[in-house]
Amino acid sequence: MGNHKNYKYILGIDISKKRLDCCLTYKNQLLWEGNIPNTKSGLTALFRKLKSLKVAIGDLLFCCENTGIYTLPLLRFVQEHNLNLWLEAPITIKKSLGFVRGKSDQVDAHRIATYAYHFQDKYRPWAPPKKSIETLRSLSKRRKNLLKVEPAATKLRRNKDNGQQNRLQRGLKKLPQHLASHKKDTEQIEKREASGFVCF
């Protein structure tokens, strides 16, 4: 989609680890605001909400700040549904709007929507760097699996099977090393990608 389209609907999204604060505007007038879980099911619920508000998806521009790995669920959703997304650097939005009274996630979502409306001429569509997204997805899954070790360890400690306990102790000794490796891999990818997701 070209850069010169004038979007009537803007959805500003403030992204955090567990939730997305949203601000939907129509011609820069508040239409709806709320928050959803930062998950696929949460985004699906958001999509239903937009449809219930009779929002023409082709006339809707999503805009959010690049927050690295926390942006990943939204990026996947945008890719799956072929949505219009503007992924902008936080410092760019902050500098363009100057001082803004108040500080909350909902205020930030409104601030992002305002930025997107006034500076549409700077919009560059986000395009998925497939390799990086798949790598982050793999790392996320790996982290979840590692974090399951501790509850399992607690259960096995109650087990009187010496063989199991010996295997458990060997596994626990390697856990910090695995977690450190995961953290290093994630940080390297975020540094490389967070400041420059592919656009065209």
Q: Token pair 């709320």 is at which residue?
A: 34
- Average pLDDT of the chain to the nearest whole number: 79
The range of the structural domain enclosing residue 106 comes to 9-122
Residue 200 has pLDDT above 50, yes or no: no
What is the pLDDT averaged over residues 118-122?
93
CA proximity to 116, closest of 137, 144, 87, 158: 87
* Number of domains composing the chain: 2
Q: Which pLDDT belongs to residue 1?
A: 42
Are 117 and 136 in the same domain?
A: no
Are 117 and 141 in the same domain?
A: no
The domain that holds 118 is classified in CATH as 3.30.420.10
Task: Give pLDDT tens digits for 50-102.
Answer: 999 999 999 999 999 998 889 989 998 998 999 999 999 989 988 876 655 55
106, 122, 138 - which closes a domain: 122
Q: Which pLDDT belongs to residue 198?
A: 40
Task: Give pLDDT tens digits for 144-177.
Answer: 666 666 565 566 556 555 556 666 566 666 666 7
Residue 31 has pLDDT above 80, yes or no: yes
Q: Which pLDDT belongs to residue 169?
A: 65
Are 117 and 145 in the same domain?
A: no
- For residues 55 and 24, the answer to whether their CB atoms sit within 8 Å is yes
Are 148 and 101 in the same domain?
A: no
Are 77 and 17 in the same domain?
A: yes
Amino acid in position 128: P
122, 156, 174 - which closes a domain: 122
Are 92 and 146 in the same domain?
A: no
Helix (H, G, I), strand (E, B) or coil at 129: coil
Residue 133 has pLDDT above 70, yes or no: no
Q: Does residue 111 sit within a domain? A: yes
Complete DSSP assignment for 76-129: HHHHHHT--EEEE-HHHHHHHH---S--SHHHHHHHHHHHHHHTGGG---B---
Q: Does residue 136 sit within a domain? A: yes
